[in-house]
Structure 1
Amino acid sequence: MKKNIAIIMGGYSSEVEISLKSGAIVYKNISKELYNSYQIHILKNKWVLVDDAKKEHPINKHDFSAEINGEKIIFDCAFNAIHGHPGEDGTILAYFDLIGLKHTSAPFYQMALTFNKRDCLSVVKQYGIKTATSFYLDKGAKINVDEIVKKVGLPCFVKPNNAGSSFGISKAKTKAEILPAIEKAFKEDTQILIESFLNGPEITVGVIEYENKIKVLPMTEIVTENDFFDYEAKYLGKSEEITPARISPEIHKKLEKVATQVYQILNMSGFSRSEYILVNGEPHFLEMNTVPGLTTESIIPQQAAEAGISLQELFHNAIEMALKN
């Protein structure tokens, strides 16, 4: 009996269009012989199953079922392709846990923790993982630019606490640029963090659960034309992504060890893509993405291909790992 797989995509954040692209790629690459897969759009104004004729069928939120031509579809597993809220922050996964629906992501608490950059950094620091120096700010709090500069220095990065795809991030090079950067970040979130600039190459490390084991994928070096790996660099071709990264075997070993440790510390499962800056050869952890982009141009599929894992194998593995849990 073929399992019914709901590929959830869309979401309520600025990343909705990117998520719809990721979800469409997952749908395209899941074998129709092995699974019955369905595209489910989770949007602010509607939850719908979208069939191949683009016809929409409402999702019943009581049990996450759908009806097509009088037949009720009950899902065995949800493939999470929602970047941002409510997929990457764990909200919809808590609901799935309540109704007993298996999914391809880590448990909802782990997803919420990793999505909150401030909390995530606080946890990993306790285990000796190196990070940038941070300054936290909540909306409405008094802003003292001199105090910020004294702690993190210049240049510095101003980031929304809960946002992905580099939305709302700025690099402030002078004191005068800090306030506009803070305003921009507050448009995305009510909490922000301001981090010291780490000078060194940026390495992206994909860590996944593959065939019941933690697997570190070939690493990617980010070389951007812009000041940092922002939205343009990520999605509009303003960066070079070099896989495998041009690093020594010694640094590779160090990164592999730290990336595995971070995955375990955070009690992760499923997909993850973490950013590290190498400062004098020492990996500094920036953040973890738990619903990374899954389009053919995205980094995790690039890394999987380098490891000899096709998109179909990557997605089928995620489903099988979820069904076993």
Structure 2
Amino acid sequence: MKKNIAIIMGGYSSEYEISIKSGKVAHEFLDGPKYNAYPIIVTKEKWVLIGENDQEFPVDKSDFSIAPKGIKIHFDCVFNAIHGTPGEDGLLQAYFELLGIPQTSCNHYQAALTFNKRDLLSTLKPYGVPCATSYFLNKGDNIDRAQIVEKVGLPCFVKANRAGSSYGISKVHRQEELQAAITKAFAEDDEIIIESFLDGTEVSVGVITYQNAVKVLPITEIVTENDFFDYEAKYMGKSQEITPARISETQQAKVTELAAFIYKTLGLKGYTRSEFIFIGDEPHLLEVNTTPGLTKESILPQQAQVAGISLEQLFSSAVEEALR
């Protein structure tokens, strides 16, 4: 019997449109002989199944079921394609755990931890994971620009602490630019992180559970036309994503080992994509994404393709691992 799979997409953050694209690709490759795939859009206003002719059917949040023809449909598994809150920060993971419905991303604690850049870096530093120097601010804190520059130097990056797709991020070259960058970051989150600039080769490393084993995918080198890998570079063709990355065997071995170590140490599952910058041969961690982009042009599907894994195999594996 075919399994019923809910593909959740949308979300409450600025990454809504990107999530919709990821969800549509997942639906294209999951709806077939093995699965009945149902596209479900989650917003603050409503949770709905999108049926034929874009007809909407409400989701019963008490048990996460639908009844498009008056007959209740329950789901065997949830495929999570929501970037940002509530699909990447642990809220929906906790909800599905309470309902006992398997889902494809990591568990609620790991999602909340990795989505919070401050907490993630603080957790991993005692393990010796190299990171940039950081300065933290909460909305309402006194802002001492001289103190910030003294700690992290210039240029530096100002980031929303809990946001993705480079929303709320700025590269600051002069102290006078700090206030505008801080204001921009606070528009996305009430916590921000300011980090020292790491001048080196940037790479993205996909780590997934595939066929019941942790697998590090071929590494992608990020070469941006812009000042850094911002939204325009990520989604509007202003960058090159080169897979496999043009790095040395030593660098490849070190970042592969470190990415797998982070995945296992944090107890992650499903898809992840971690970003690193090399200083010499040493990879420095920037962040870990637990619901990375899944469009055909996104980095993780590109890496899977180089590894000989089709999108159908990639998505089906995530469902099978969740059901396992």
How many correspondences in the alignment?
324
Deviation at 1:266, TM superposition (A): 1.3
Cα distance in structure 2, aligned partners of 1:173 and 1:26: 40
Q: Tell me what 1:180 maps to.
A: 180
- Could you list the runs of 5+ residues in structure 2 that have no partner in the other structure? none
Query: Aligned to 1:227, what secondary structure does the other structure show?
Result: coil
- The amino acid of 1:254's aligned partner reads K
| Distance in 2, Cα, partners of 1:77 & 1:51 | 19
Tell whether the 8 Å contact from 2:5 to 2:36 is kept in structure 1 after alignment: yes
Between the aligned residues of both structures, percent identity stands at: 60
Alignment partner, residue 16 of structure 1: 16
User: Do 2:159 and 2:194's aligned partners in 1 also have CA atoms closer than 8 Å?
Assistant: yes
What is the CA–CA distance in structure 2 between the aligned matches of 1:30 and 1:3, rounded to whole Å?
10
SS in structure 2 of the partner of residue 253 of structure 1: helix
- Identify the residue that residue 103 of structure 1 maps to in structure 2: 103
Structure 1 stretches lacking a partner, 5+ long:
none
Secondary structure of the 1:5 match is strand
RMSD: 0.6
Contact kept in structure 1, 2:8 and 2:40, CA below 8 Å: yes
Moved more, 102-111 or 28-37: 28-37
Report whether the alignment pairs 1:6 with 2:10. no
Shift >2 Å, 4+ stretches: none
Residue in 2 that maps onto 1:127: 127
Q: Distance in 1 between matches of 2:52 and 2:37?
A: 11
Letter in 1 for 2:178: I
User: Structure 1 residue 31: deviation in Å?
Assistant: 4.3
* TM-score normalized with structure 2 length: 0.99
Offset at residue 53 of structure 1 (A): 2.7
Structure 1 residue 271 corresponds to structure 2 residue 271: yes
**Cα deviations by residue, 1:181-202 (Å, 9 ceiling, x for unpaired):** 0000000000000000001010
The aligned amino acid for 2:316 is H
The secondary structure found in structure 2 opposite 1:166 is: coil
Instruction: Work out whether residues 31 and 312 of structure 1, in 8 Å CA contact, stay in contact via their aligned partners in 2.
Output: no
Secondary structure of 2:72's match? strand
* Other-structure match for 1:286: 286
3-state secondary structure, aligned to 1:183: helix
Aligned to 1:206: 206
Tell me the CA shift for residue 51 of structure 1.
Answer: 1.5
2:201 partner amino acid: P
1:251 match: 251
Give the TM-score of the pair, scaled to structure 1: 0.99
Return the letter of the residue paired with 1:12: Y
CA distance in 2, matches of 1:309, 1:2: 23
- Identify if the C-alpha distance between structure 1 residues 28 and 52 changes in structure 2 by more than 3 Å, giving closer, same or farther: farther
Q: Distance in 2 between matches of 1:264 and 1:149?
A: 35
Tell me the SS of whatever aligns to 2:283: strand
Does residue 68 of the first structure (1) align with residue 71 of the second (2)?
A: no
Partners of 1:250 and 1:198 in 2: CA distance: 19
